[in-house]
């Protein structure tokens, strides 16, 4: 029997119809299976990363101390990557990786607690590459170079391990490491660690910022306390200086003027000359004017200008009446104080009102001044306003001759209140301040 032969390059139809389609079917089965596995791995890794982020957020909201925060988070991360042990390692100021308390799965006497692994940017060791470049080679479920590093530093019995860089933005904080997985570690586990490390880096940065803010607030409070003490000393020193000046004015200058008046009367009674008598009368008038001027100055500078037996309302009315008599400025008064302000509040209010009226008298060229007071928010609000020439507040606040404006602000602040000064050239001026009653 003859056997038929086919031309070169030709195959029997049966061979072509069975071998090639079988291969294509096999390929068609593998690709969907691979895609399904990849999708499952990705979904699992994303779910684990979401759990890690949720854990970081919940632990942060619980306002735990940092050791407890890291302990709970390390336990959560261990469960997500199938590790028996997890530890955060931070960079010390000397450039060494040291343990950030508290690790998960390590006994109290573990050598990890005394770990010191050099990791400086210029080196090429596994620790430096891990921290600064986030480089890790995972083969067979572990990183052999990393396992050797732990063994070298006394962590014996490590079956497998992985680690990722722990950072916050461009700042390198340290590393997050996981140890001893029964199934071995994968790149998906490393990705989950990176998500946890990134979130924890932000928490670390936030806590550092909080601590720095607390320190800044504490220093600011200390500075404010020192400032208040200084202002109190300045105010006390100012009152003491005024008291000495008033005492000298009363006991010395005014007494001398009184003695001069008496002596002048004796000279005039002994004089027979009409011309001398007229001159002596003129001299006596001059002395009385000087004496009146000094007495007005005494009532202004004396820190005891407020006579508490008179009361705050009457003391302010008397001060306004003196201003009207001396300058001709018309006054408008509307005083509705709370029933029983303390002596300190009364004194402070009167000093500020008196200071404001001195400024009106010296600088305003006003024709009318108004003083109003009322109860407000558990305290008393006082307003002194005039229709004078006004001024630029920022320019005058710290200028010589206008330190009374600053003194009013400081008095109100020392009493726990506030003070506002409003003025413009040609538009008059208003001083408004509030202090609590207690």
Q: What is the pLDDT of residues 284-321, one digit of tens each?
A: 777 777 777 666 665 655 554 444 456 888 889 888 98
Q: Going by C-beta distance under 8 Å and a sequence separation of 6 or more, which residues neighbour residue 388?
A: 360, 363, 364, 365, 366, 367, 428, 429
Say what the pTM is.
0.47
Please say whether the beta carbons of 353 and 312 come within 8 A: no
pLDDT digits (tens, 9 = 90+) for 216-271: 888 888 877 777 676 666 656 556 666 666 666 666 666 677 777 777 777 777 76
Q: Is the pLDDT of residue 394 over 50?
A: yes
Please say whether the beta carbons of 185 and 141 come within 8 A: yes
Pick the CATH number of 305-438 from 3.30.565.10, 3.30.56.10, 3.40.50.620, 1.10.150.120: 3.30.565.10
Report the CATH superfamily, name and number, of domain 50-214: GAF domain (3.30.450.40)
Segment 386-400 mean pLDDT? 77
Please say whether the beta carbons of 397 and 405 come within 8 A: yes
| Three-class DSSP category at 85 | strand
Burial label, 237 (beta-carbon count in 10 A; 0-12, 13-18, 19+): exposed
Question: Crossing angle, helix 13-61 and helix 187-248, to 10 degrees?
Answer: 20
Q: Going by C-beta distance under 8 Å and a sequence separation of 6 or more, which residues neighbour residue 110?
A: 103, 155
Q: How far apart (Å, rounded) are the C-alpha atoms in residues 185 and 77? A: 13
User: What is the average pLDDT score of the chain?
Assistant: 78
Q: How far apart (Å, rounded) are the C-alpha atoms in residues 418 and 411? A: 9
pLDDT digits (tens, 9 = 90+) for 79-104: 888 999 999 999 998 889 999 888 99
Nearest one of 60, 55, 362 to 203, comparing CA atoms: 60
Nearest one of 75, 124, 119, 67 to 97, comparing CA atoms: 119
Q: What is the pLDDT of residue 297?
A: 63
Supply φ then ψ for residue 168, to 5 degrees: -135, 100
Q: Domain limits of the chain?
A: 50-214, 305-438
pLDDT digits (tens, 9 = 90+) for 333-373: 999 887 767 777 888 898 889 889 988 888 888 999 999 99
| Three-class DSSP category at 100 | strand
Q: Going by C-beta distance under 8 Å and a sequence separation of 6 or more, which residues neighbour residue 387?
A: 366, 367, 368, 369, 428
Buried/exposed code over 123-132 (b: 16+ C-beta within 10 A; e: otherwise): eeebbbbbbb
CA distances from 198 to 24, 52, 119, 172 (A): 44, 10, 19, 11
Buried/exposed code over 296-311 (b: 16+ C-beta within 10 A; e: otherwise): eebebbbbebbeeeee
Q: Which helix (DSSP H) or strand (DSSP E) does residue 128 occupy?
A: helix 126-133
Q: How far apart (Å, rounded) are the C-alpha atoms in residues 351 and 349? A: 6
> What is the end-to-end Cα distance of the chain in Å, rounded?
129
Residue 142: DSSP 8-state: B
Segment 378-398 mean pLDDT? 85
Segment 56-74 mean pLDDT? 73
């Amino acid at each position: 029997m003859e056997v038929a032969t086919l031309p070169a390059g030709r195959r029997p139809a049966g061979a072509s119809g069975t071998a090639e389609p079988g291969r294509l079917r096999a390929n068609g089965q593998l690709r969907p299976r691979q895609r399904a596995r990849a999708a499952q791995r990705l979904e699992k890794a994303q779910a684990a990363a979401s759990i890690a982020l949720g854990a970081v957020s919940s632990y942060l909201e619980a306002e735990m101390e940092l050791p407890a925060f890291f302990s709970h988070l390390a336990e959560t991360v261990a469960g997500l990557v199938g590790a028996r042990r997890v530890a955060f390692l931070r960079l010390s100021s000397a450039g060494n990786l040291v343990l950030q308390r508290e690790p998960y799965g390590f006994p109290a006497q573990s050598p990890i607690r005394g770990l010191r692994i050099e990791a400086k940017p210029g080196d090429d060791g596994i620790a430096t590459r891990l921290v600064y470049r986030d480089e890790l080679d995972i083969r067979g479920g572990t990183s052999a170079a990393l396992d050797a590093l732990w063994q070298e530093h006394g962590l014996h019995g490590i079956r497998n391990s992985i680690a990722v860089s722990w950072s916050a933005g461009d700042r390198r904080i340290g590393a997050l490491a996981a140890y001893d997985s029964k199934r071995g570690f994968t790149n998906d586990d490393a990705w989950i660690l990176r998500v946890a490390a990134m979130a924890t880096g932000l928490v670390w940065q936030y806590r550092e910022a909080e601590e720095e803010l607390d320190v800044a607030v504490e220093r600011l409070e200390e500075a404010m306390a020192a400032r208040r003490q200084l202002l109190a000393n300045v105010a006390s020193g100012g009152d003491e200086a005024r008291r000495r000046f008033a005492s000298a004015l009363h006991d010395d200058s005014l007494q001398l003027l009184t003695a001069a008046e008496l002596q002048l009367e004796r000279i005039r009674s002994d004089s027979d000359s009409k011309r001398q008598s007229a001159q002596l009368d003129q001299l006596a008038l001059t002395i009385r004017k000087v004496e009146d001027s000094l007495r007005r100055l005494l009532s202004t500078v004396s820190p005891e200008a407020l006579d508490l037996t008179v009361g705050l309302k009457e003391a302010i009315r008397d001060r306004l009446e003196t201003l009207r008599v001396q300058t001709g400025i018309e006054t408008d008064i509307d005083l509705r104080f709370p029933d029983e302000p303390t002596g300190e509040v009364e004194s402070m209010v009167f000093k500020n009102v008196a200071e404001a009226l001195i400024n009106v008298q010296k600088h305003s060229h006003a024709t009318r001044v108004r003083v109003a007071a009322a109860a407000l928010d558990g305290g008393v609000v006082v307003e002194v306003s005039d229709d004078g020439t006004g001024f630029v507040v920022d320019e005058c606040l710290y200028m010589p001759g206008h330190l009374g404006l600053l003194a009013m602000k400081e008095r109100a602040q020392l009493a726990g209140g506030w003070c506002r000064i409003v003025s413009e050239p040609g538009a008059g001026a208003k001083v408004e301040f509030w202090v609590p009653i207690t």
